[in-house]
Amino acid sequence: MDQAGFKFITNIDISDNVISKMRDHYRTITPVQEFQVIDATRMAYRDNSFDICIDKGTYDALACGSES
C-alpha cells in the first residue's frame, strides 16, 4: 500500500512478537508506517479515524471463536 501512495498506514496485531518483527522489517522500507499492539475486540479509536480498513483474517478468527 505504501508503494501505491498510501502514506498514513496503521498496522495492528494482538501479538507483541508480530508487531516487533514487522517494525524491524519495515523500518527502512516504509518508515512512516505505524505498528501497534492492539486487541481488535478492544480498540479505542475514535469514529472516522480511518478512511479505509483492510482485514486480513481477523474477522474470520473472531467469527469462529468460542464467543462468536
Q: Given a cut of 80, is residue 61 above it in pLDDT?
A: no
pLDDT in tens, 22-58: 999 988 888 788 999 999 889 999 999 999 888 888 8
Helix, coil or strand: residue 57: coil
pLDDT at 68: 58
Give one word for 5, left, alpha or beta, with left for phi > 0 and alpha for psi -120 to 50: left
Going by their DSSP bridges, the two strands 34-37 and 10-13 should be labelled as parallel
Asked whether residue 20 is assigned to any structural domain, the reply reads yes
Q: Given a cut of 80, is residue 66 above it in pLDDT?
A: no
Amino acid, single-letter form, for residue 12: I
Q: Cell triple for residue 23? A: 517494525
Asked whether residue 68 is assigned to any structural domain, the reply reads no
User: CA end-to-end span of the chain, whole Å?
Assistant: 31
Range of the domain at 52: 2-63
pTM: 0.75
pLDDT band at residue 4, thresholds of 50, 70 and 90? Answer: confident
Residue with cell 498506514: 9
| Domain total of the chain | 1
